[in-house]
Structure 1
């Protein structure tokens, strides 16, 4: 399914939500209609490589400790 690219403001909001420890991927999907894989691609494209790796490590670590996280 083709989705037009997000404008800069929407993309910034999605990134801020993804970086937050209090917002789940389900909430991002409800507001913006994109799933976890698309969020990860966006984060990889917009963040520095080290920042992306640190974010993924944090998300994975919290997901292992909690039943419901991102």
Structure 2
């Protein structure tokens, strides 16, 4: 793994987000779930890592297979569309 500081920060941010799946991280950064776990363990304080692991372990929103996406995109069905810097109404 040769990642920049900005990429590491973004991966950590994505890993903490409830609705961002491990598959989305893999798609963008080529890191599988185990590699994300190892990166989180290495980059975070032990107490923060334990809190994160407890939070994501078995969470449906972190695994694409357990979620339903619109047309294969990494996006929650409740997420609003943004067009020309305006939030579209449904």
Evaluate the alpha carbon distance shift between residue 61 and residue 35 of structure 1 in structure 2; reply closer, same or farther with a 3 A threshold. closer
> Structure 2: which 5+ runs fail to align?
68-90
When you count helix as a share of all residues, which structure comes out higher? 1
When you count strand as a share of all residues, which structure comes out higher? 2
Cα RMSD between the aligned structures?
1.9
The alpha carbon displacement at 1:36 in A equals 0.4
Distance 1:25 1:14 in 2: 10
Post-superposition, which runs of at least 4 consecutive aligned residues in structure 1 deviate over 4 A? none
The alpha carbon displacement at 1:61 in A equals 4.8
Structure having the higher Rg: 2
TM-score (norm 2): 0.64
| 1:18 and 2:27 matched | no
